[in-house]
Structure 1
Amino acid sequence: MREFFLKTDRIGFSKWDCRDQELAKLLWGDSQVTKYICASGIFSQKDIINRLNIEISNLEKYQVQYWPIFELDTNELIGCCGLRPRSSNEYEIGFHLRKKYWNQGYATEAARAIINFAFNILKAENLFAGHNPNNKGSQKVLQKLGFIYIRDEFYEPTGLYHPSYKLT
């Protein structure tokens, strides 16, 4: 049983570690997830391990990561949701969910918990977010959470200009 440092009504937030390769593969090995986060649309096994290592490193260096999130009732992996540092008091929020959890309110619920964590625990001044322009679900989530569109920014991993948002 995993330990959770943060919980909502349906979601438990844990921390990625080196034993999570199979969970990482379950999430980032699904082209329905990765089609929105990389130009090829597919993560190789090496890409999956690299992504997991980035998350572990971010936790060690900055005390934040895109934390793995689990359904409390089943202890099943939903995806990940968390933060990346932009500056000393600004973060980027993001989420990747397994397809079976799309359109059920999990992204909104998880992101809302991370927003509260960022502003109340980390004392963030601003949060930023972006999404693949083809990912209308993420656009709706960010708008529902109160993020304001600021501009399109080039995102090298996809080779596309992504809408960028800010929440203060």
Structure 2
Amino acid sequence: GKFDMEGNPIKSDALYNYVQSVDDPAIINNTQGFVYTYPNRIFAHFDVDQFETMKNRILNATGSNRAVAVTINPIEDAEEEDIPCLQFLQCLVRDNELTIHCIFRSNDIFGAFYSNMFFIAYLGLKMKEEVNKEIVGEKLNFGGVHYHSTSGHIYNTDIKAARKLIKANK
């Protein structure tokens, strides 16, 4: 596509569609038959909009460290083999800069990393915009993503492409 980035194995149209799933009611309400989706777990799990909760916590106490969302549900996920890789999100505001922190229990650093990073960045930008609509005075800036993965890996099916990318960037 027009906005493809060199070295990114996921093409821009796919990234755009993935990121836009944040606003897709079928994804949020999980009517497409997936075990879970991140938008579903963040925006509608157990009828709780954790994004809205994070936003309200920022608005009520800008410096709070309580603007958090989780995607894991021990009751529901205990019997599932496929549990969310993204476990935790936190929005922090320091010196008028909003950063979003995330923790992945596992991360495909060649394939899924790109879409996950764009999705998380989009959430951070969306949070900044939503908060800025409601605050009076100095608006927030977006300071980026702090991305943590406790178990990064590359699948065997991606090894050749990953090696090619590494060689191309030497």
Quick check: which one's helix share is greater?
2
Larger Rg: 2
Instruction: Tell me if TM exceeds 0.5.
Output: no
Bin the TM-score by the shorter chain.
0.3 to 0.5
Quick check: which one's strand share is greater?
1
